[in-house]
Amino acid sequence: MIRLENVSKSYSKDIEALHDVSLNIEPGEFVFVVGSSGSGKSTLIKLLMKEIEPTSGRIVVNQQDLSRLRRKRIPKYRRGIGVVYQDFRLLKDRNVYENIAFAERVIETPSRIIKKKVPASLAMVGLAQKYKSFPQELSGGEQQRVAIARAFINDPELILADEPTGNLDPQTSWEIMKILEEANARGTTILVVSHNQEIVNAMKKRVITLKKGVVISDEEEGVYINED
């Protein structure tokens, strides 16, 4: 599903965000990526989304070599990946239904299909009754559920979750992780960037630890190594 071969990324001569990183994530895995601020976690997400290019090395996602991916094919590539952010990134002037439908309208999905897919996504995250609500009328946890529903609207094989519980209370954080774990049980590959030590240690998933752009640990049932 994801393969990095000797990947480095430098933003300038003095700033190397990732250094010679090699890793392999198989289809259907649930993986945490952890590390202190500046360890390279955000850079990794941006590379996988092809928002930035590596300075050196090779990245393959879902059998696609990203270095060979033409610019015009990038939108289609990204549609195969669901992304969940810490700050939800919902459109405040649109209700829940329209926030999710918007992503489909951008790619010209027929309205009859949107009318089926949006309710199904909302039902998956337990918000079927909230489709007319606006983001400001929802709790933080509900907004994140909407963001997850949006990420799953195209049935992606891969979900990238960048600090999905960063702005949430402990109980709501566990509810969000349960949704991601259920998706993983259905076969979706999940990669979660997280600072939540309690969740990472309790879930007993694979944990990749970055420090100053280098992988210092990769354990099948790992724990959060606090390098702060």
Domain ranges of the chain: 1-80+156-228, 91-155
Least confident of 68-72, 103-107, 128-132, 139-143: 103-107
Cα separation of 193 and 161, whole Å? 6
As given in the structure block, the two tokens for residue 3 are: 């393969």
Share of the chain above pLDDT 70, in %: 99
Q: Residues with Cβ < 8 Å from 178, sequence gap 6 or more? A: none
Which amino acid does the sequence have at 24?
N
Confidence check: pLDDT of 227 > 70: no
Mean pLDDT of 49-77: 93
Answer for the pair 167, 86: CB distance below 8 angstroms, yes or no. Answer: yes
| Average pLDDT of the residues of the chain | 93
Confidence check: pLDDT of 228 > 80: no
Answer for the pair 159, 151: CB distance below 8 angstroms, yes or no. Answer: yes
What confidence score (pLDDT) does residue 147 get?
94
Cα separation of 226 and 207, whole Å? 12
Cα separation of 19 and 226, whole Å? 20
Mean pLDDT of 58-81: 92
What confidence score (pLDDT) does residue 211 get?
94
Confidence check: pLDDT of 13 > 90: no
Summary count for the chain: helices (H), strands (E): 7, 10
Cα separation of 215 and 227, whole Å? 13
- Give the CATH architecture of domain 1-80+156-228: 3-Layer(aba) Sandwich (3.40)
What confidence score (pLDDT) does residue 17 get?
95
Confidence check: pLDDT of 222 > 90: no
Cα separation of 34 and 217, whole Å? 10
Mean pLDDT of 114-142: 94
Mean pLDDT of 155-174: 92
Binned at pLDDT 50, 70 and 90, residue 53 comes out as very high
Answer for the pair 37, 63: CB distance below 8 angstroms, yes or no. Answer: no
Confidence check: pLDDT of 79 > 90: no
Cα 122 to the chain's mean position, in Å? Answer: 18
